[in-house]
Structure 1
């Protein structure tokens, strides 16, 4: 599948400035998911909207030796595939888990090496981070990722330029379950997903607690079946970004 890198200097400057302003107000959470009107007007193509009969299911922050295998078991039971945005540091520590994700037929994508906000990093450190994660995840899984999602959903000019140079396509999300919260439950995760649930949406969940409240992955795990039922009720198929058609 061909991807369209962001090459325009004007586009780079506009995106980095807007994302930077947003991130200043939302340092603790994925920045753009909290400012829906700006995303809809300016950044729809970064949200990963795809074909109208499909929903892209994505997970961030793994691979994790405790939670990721449980997520994989549930996805296997439900007979669906997803895209896993892996942290290089986690793939480096647990390469056998990363390999299992790939062997199960899921799509491998990048989430950077360390989960650090790009707004507060130099272009040089961003490039080192992304290059290292690309090498680490590729070696662990045997697959070169095509997609990149920055930590906290914050893109800067350095992020966009590096993604272009590494032939990576930045992808954020259109709906999320806020499954990283301390008080999250499967029902709350599902209800949060419903708030932005539309045909063609890209969904963000997490398969690791490495940057979330300990044990919160269980809310994700408990919500997966109900989420797939929701998609079936709307005659929507669920799968990875490679099948999303955007």
Structure 2
């Protein structure tokens, strides 16, 4: 599903006191590519200028994720998979296989929810629960966090920092969650925004988007990778993308004290 904030988001925010709403949703402005790339390059996933970080959201999915793993093997590419805790505990074998093949897992949350009402306790609990699940299943502690829909709030930001995670959104995406997406459209959409040092967002599951849309992302994958290589850019996971930005270096205005 598209990570575009919907009308209900703004309706819910309007019901909150102005100060509380501003503090809560202020960081969501980083969803805007111009704001993110210009002011918060670490949050946009900017890394080494000769490298592209390839990332996938919404798995693990026993139907589609293995297809992506096979395709990536064929391309000789490793990636970062941002997983949802509720899917991870249902399909641990897929997560284990993902790591066994050399990929890394990041945290996408416990469920694919929108943060309508501020609750730091909720955010902290869900992110910590997802971190623990990744570590329990794979034996490896995740490094990265990407909020569902790309909506970053003050609570989610603080919760990720408390869990020791670095928040990363993206600098290019394929809009592969729609029913009309095709391999060609995904490839073109990625290419329109992709530059050296960028982070690509695709989806390895259709659980939170149009049914079957993962076929478009999978079909576009060889062309996306080949396009990067033709431009002299290496493709890999976030852990190979460059010096990892610390939370302090990529801090965004939260309206709340750090901690």
Fold similarity call, TM over 0.5 = yes
- Return the alpha-carbon distance in structure 2 between the equivalents of residues 209 and 140 of structure 1: 23
Shift of 1:146: 0.5
How many residues were matched structurally?
223
Q: Which residue of 1 aligns with 2:26?
A: 18
Gaps of 5+ in 2: 1-20, 244-259
The correspondence for 2:101, drawn from 101, 104, 110, is 104
Q: Which residue of 2 aligns with 1:137?
A: 134
- Return the alpha-carbon distance in structure 2 between the equivalents of residues 117 and 64 of structure 1: 21
- Return the alpha-carbon distance in structure 2 between the equivalents of residues 105 and 121 of structure 1: 37
Shift of 1:76: 0.4
Q: Which moved more, 1:94-103 or 1:116-125?
A: 116-125
Q: Which residue of 2 aligns with 1:196?
A: 193
Contact 1:182 1:216 in 2 (8 A): yes
Report the secondary structure of 1:45's partner residue: coil
Q: Which residue of 1 aligns with 2:43?
A: 46
Q: TM-score, normalised by structure 1?
A: 0.86
Cα distance per residue 1:94-148 (max 9 Å; x no partner): 0010110011110111001101123435111111110111111211222110000
Cα distance per residue 1:219-239 (max 9 Å; x no partner): 011001001110111010000
Shift of 1:188: 0.3
Report the secondary structure of 2:59's partner residue: coil
Over 3 Å counting, the alpha-carbon distance change for 1:57 and 1:161 in structure 2 is same
Q: Which residue of 2 aligns with 1:25?
A: none
- Return the alpha-carbon distance in structure 1 between the equivalents of residues 176 and 148 of structure 2: 15
Q: TM-score, normalised by structure 2?
A: 0.82
C-alpha RMSD of the superposition: 1.7
1:69 aligns with 2:77: no
Contact 2:26 2:154 in 1 (8 A): no
Contact 2:37 2:171 in 1 (8 A): no
- Return the alpha-carbon distance in structure 2 between the equivalents of residues 43 and 17 of structure 1: 16
- Return the alpha-carbon distance in structure 1 between the equivalents of residues 37 and 77 of structure 2: 28
Report the secondary structure of 1:37's partner residue: helix
- Return the alpha-carbon distance in structure 2 between the equivalents of residues 16 and 43 of structure 1: 18
After TM superposition, which residue ranges in structure 1, 4 or more long, deviate above 4 angstroms?
Answer: 13-17
Report the secondary structure of 1:118's partner residue: coil
Gaps of 5+ in 1: 1-12, 23-30
